[in-house]
Structure 1
Amino acid sequence: MIELKTPDEIDAIAAAGRIVAAVLAAVSDHAAPGVTTRELDTLARDLIADAGARPTFLGYHPDWAPTPYSGAICASVNDAVVHGPPTDAPLDGGDLLTVDLAVHLDGWCADAAIGTVVGEADPADLQLIAAAEKALEAGLAQARPGARMGDLAHAVGSTARAAGYGMLADHGGHGVGRSMHEAPFVPNEGRPGRGLTLRPGLVLAIEPMLIASGSDGYRHDPDGWTVRTADGSRAVHVEHTVAVTENGPRVLTA
Structure 2
Amino acid sequence: MVYTNHGPERVLLVGVDLFGRKTHLSIQDSMKELGELTLSAGAVVVGTLTQKLSRHSHYYLGQGKLEELKELIDKNSISTVICDDELNPNQQQNLEKVLEKVKVIDRTALILDIFASRAQTHEGRLQVDLAQHEYLLPRLAGQWSHLERLGGGIGTRGPGETQIETDRRLIRNRILKLKKELKSIRTHRNLYRERRRRSGVEVVGLVGYTNAGKSTLLNTLTKAGVAAEDKLFMTLDPVTRKLQLPNSKQILITDTVGFIQKLPTTLVAAF
TM interval, shorter chain, is: under 0.3
TM, length-normalised to structure 2: 0.26
Taking structure 1 as the reference length, what is the TM-score of the superposition?
0.28
Q: Which has the higher contact order (CA 8 A, sep 6+)?
A: 1
Bigger share in strand: 1
| Structure with the higher fraction of residues in helix conformation | 2
